[in-house]
Chains A and B, each alone.
Chain A
Amino acid sequence: MRSPLSAPIARDAAIALIIVAVLLAMPLVAPKGLVFVVGTLALHIVFGLSWNLMFGQTGLVSFGHASFFAIGGYFYALVARSFPDLHPLLGFAGAGAFGVALAVVIGLIALRRSLGVYFAILTLALSQIVYLFLSSFTPLGREDGFTGIRRPVLDMGLFQVDLAKGDNYYLFIILFSTLLCAIIWWVRHSQTGRALRAIQQDPERAAFLGINVAGNRLLAFAIASGVTAVAGALYGPWLQLLTPDVAHWTLSARPILYSLLGGVSSFWGPVAGAAGFAILEYGTRTLHGFSEIIIGSILLAVVLLFPGGILGGLESLRRRHATPASAAKETRR
């Protein structure tokens, strides 16, 4: 029996450190196109991890997660254009706070009445409303999108960093995403995280033990939405353009794919899923039409052959090849 906290913190920190070091070194060796893909991937990892905080921990299936990504992005872009002197970090934080506030309002109404498929379809309907608004609201650029989103200058008191220069914005995205992932890791492993897991396993029993089921579900929804809104805010200056497509339901399907593809029961599942998906996309980008066929077929194969996702599949392989003694120990546990 491992101790609940100390072992994962050392292991996960080590894994995170290696990944971050590799990503920070990317611009030195990789071509520009690949660096762009990796920067986007970092934001998508946050996107996937935050969705899985709801699903993997509380069993809540949101089908409108992309709308929070889009809302955060448009919020930051609008604020940065309207108040050019505002500190960019305040802009990013504001996007997060806006996401949280919106999620609390929606959650207060929606979570009490509907769960399961109903919550999924309800969030889907709401995200369609967001999508339609973004595509027809003139100040936000309608279908042409919100153009000319600048990469800001970061004033850190003692020194200034111009994020528009060189690879600065890429490094900023990697570091900021790491911070957001750390927040999710911390929530997952905190007392709140354990309460959420109890709710997922048996809401009735959890309520009987004195856990506030509705409140904790709302908390998970709010945190996930806020973190995603910040990721969306970071995405605007990265692309320097936002189109309503970031709110489209096909983007809401992404974190679900990442989580299920990688494995929902582990913290690293969505990370592996998002990375796997990005590799597939990057590898097949020049094959018109066939890229969808290849990606679709591989997704299908993973679902049908490894229902536990990539990480679940690796785990069962490891178990199958483990020595008999350790295998016996595994079964006893």
Chain B
Amino acid sequence: MVDYVLSPLFNGLFMAMVVFLFTTGLTLIFGILRVLNFAHGGFFMIGAYVAFSIVRLVGGETSVLAYLAISTVAGIVVGLLGLVVERVIFRPLQKVDEAYSLIATYALLLITEGAVKAVWGVSFHSVATPDLLGGAVFAGDLFMPTYAIFIIAIGVASYALLEWVLQHTDTGKLMKSVASDPWMAGMLGVNVPRFYTFIVVLGFFLAGIAGGLLLPNQTLSPNLASTFVIQAFGALIVGGMGNIRGTFLAAIMLCVIDSFGSLLFSEVPGLFFYIAMTAALLLRPQGLIAGARL
């Protein structure tokens, strides 16, 4: 029971929340600007490296609160980079064909990888989990690392927060209206370009904070940028073209299936994620939550 049901379920949920935290910013930007940002992983990586540098600066031991604060600072740094990226790259891209935004964001990914190599070098780094999150909890025979429980809680909380903002606040309604028809929103007096800037900064902030939060889970190297991108694209598209709820559900579905799949067939780790992704795209090409914007 524990080995074959609860444990894979728990691991799947943990992985799902990792992917979801990575994907939120990507989903926001894709949902509103329709730019599939390849460089998202690059900025996630920069967030992780910034958090790593701060941790080293303040010394090894960090409390949970300090760790949250450090992640937020990483988010703010990356958000500011987002401001620059929006002005210099995303805004001019609105005028060219969609396919070219793909190559532009890929170019940006290369630049972030190069920048990380130039600033932090190519060697591997890692950071210890904060003391309070370093342990594990046993529920019966089920082994649950405290850090994994923490990430699952953060993931669910972020989802709840984003969903609440989108469904119940004026900002959220504004986001949805711009996402579904930017021209009409502009006619009704929304400053669409400024709103786009806000979304890009928010999306980058989410990438940076995710980088900080997931730092104890990763080995830092310039390859980190391309690690989660494909899983993130999977969750984004299977969820239904850029809505938060769909992304959340798709991340859980794909990762839990993958977790159970690895029980059956452990030779190729990660295989079932892509099998589930392929099946989902073929069976439900419109996505889990079709038609919804954000």
Chain A positions within 8 Å of B, measured between CB atoms, are 55, 61, 109-110, 113-114, 117-118, 121-122, 124-126, 128-129, 132-133, 136-137, 249-250, 253, 256-257, 260-261, 264, 288-297, 299-300, 303-304, 307
Contacts and interface: CB of A to CB of B under 8 A. Distances in A.
The 5 closest A-B pairs by CB, nearest first: A292-B114, A289-B117, A296-B110, A299-B107, A296-B111
B282 interface: yes
Interface stretch (B47-55, B158-166, B272-280): B272-280
Given A256-B106, A300-B111, A304-B89, 15 more contacts: A118-B281, A121-B277, A121-B281, A125-B234, A125-B274, A128-B274, A133-B268, A136-B267, A137-B268, A249-B230, A257-B103, A288-B122, A296-B110, A296-B114, A304-B96
A105 B41 CA distance: 33
Contacts of A117: 36, 237, 241
Contacts of A303: 93, 96, 100, 103-104, 107
A122 B100 contact: no
Contacts of A126: 274, 278
A155 to B, nearest CB: 39
Contacts of A128: 230, 270, 274
B193 interface: no
Contacts, number: 123
Interface residues of B, number: 42
B104 A293 contact: no
A129 B273 CA distance: 9
Contacts of B282: 109-110, 113-114, 122
13 contacts: A113-B281, A114-B282, A124-B233, A125-B278, A129-B274, A136-B268, A250-B226, A292-B114, A293-B110, A293-B114, A294-B114, A296-B109, A304-B89
Contact of A293 (B115, B233, B234): B115
Interface of A is mostly: helix
A94 B267 CA distance: 28
Contacts of B234: 121, 125
Interface in B64-98: 89, 92-93, 96-97
